[in-house]
Amino acid sequence: MRKPFVAGNWKMNKTVAEATELATGLKGSLAGVTEVDIAVCPVATALGAVSAALCCSNIAVGAQNMYWEASGAFTGEIAPPMVKELATYVIIGHSERRQFFGETDETVNKKIKAALAHGIKPIICIGESLEQNQAGETVDFVGGQIKGAFAGISAADAATVTLAYEPIWAIGTGLTATPEDANAIIRKAIRDVLVELYDDATAEAIRVQYGGSVKPHNMADFIAMQEIDGALVGGASLKVDDFTAIVKAAT
């Protein structure tokens, strides 16, 4: 039985003061929720403050990205040991990073390996564009992203990661995949490919979140699906009431 996991991706929103206020609000509203693993992923400048605000609570902190080298001349990047000081999780390969910042399956794979080597838990994003969806290419495309992401990663390490299936056309648009479609794609393009790469036990151990316009009113429908183990939430994670309702709907 996989424990539900709901993570909030705050994207490029919130100053340190605003992020601290949001984290403090969530710490209160989600206190005592133990049936769901919870994480919030603030912008890098707020990681320290949010991690201090959430200290000793049931809400973990994640970074939104990191580089794969441990240190050096990589202006503007943050390294795994720096993330490890402040966070438990790191989002890797979000579609916005693939679309706007040149992230590829190869860089995603390097970052996953770096996260695992430094004891940071990756949340790996995959998902197809509207064009690929309409052309019936979703299963092949997402399956290819899975093969790229897991290249050279052992079954023992693979079993510890989280995947977020996020159809790009559903992110920030108010559109969602139907729960049934998302469930079928996760089965065919993700778990069946993981069985091919590893084995049944590894494929069944990995938690797969759905992401793309998850809101308080639709979370229950997604979590009811056999293959969906939680959500990666963008816009609705910026409001205490909405994120709290989503987490509670995932219990």
Just list the catalytic residues.
94, 166
Helical H segments across the chain, by residue range: 16-29, 47-53, 80-86, 95-100, 105-117, 130-134, 138-149, 155-158, 179-185, 192-197, 200-205, 219-223, 240-249
- Choose, by CB under 6 A, the member of 189, 233, 240, 250 that binds ligand PEP: 233
By beta-carbon proximity to ligand PEP, the closer residue of 183 and 202 is 183
Is there binding between residue 8 and ligand PEP (CB under 6 A)? no
Give the CA count within 13 Å in the CB-facing half-sphere of 138.
23
Q: Give the closest residue to 94 by CA, choosing from 204, 239, 234, 243.
A: 234
Q: Give the residue with the Cβ less far from ligand PEP, 147 or 215.
A: 215
Smallest separation, CB 8 to ligand PEP (Å): 9
Question: Under the criterion CB under 6 A, does residue 235 sit at the interface with ligand PEP?
Answer: yes
Q: Which helix (H) or strand (E) holds 162?
A: strand 162-165
Stretch 189-218: interaction string toward ligand PEP, x if CB under 6 A: ----------------------xxxx----
Over the window 136 to 175, marking each residue x when it contacts ligand PEP by CB under 6 A and - when it does not, the resulting string is: ------------------------------x----xx---
> Closer to ligand PEP at the Cβ: 146 or 233?
233
CB closer to ligand PEP, 23 vs 198: 23
Encoded tokens for 229: 């183990």
Q: Are 27 and 21 in contact (CB under 8 A)?
A: no
The size of the chain, in residues, is 251
Write out the residues near ligand PEP by the rule CB under 6 A.
Answer: 9, 11, 166, 171-172, 211-214, 232-236
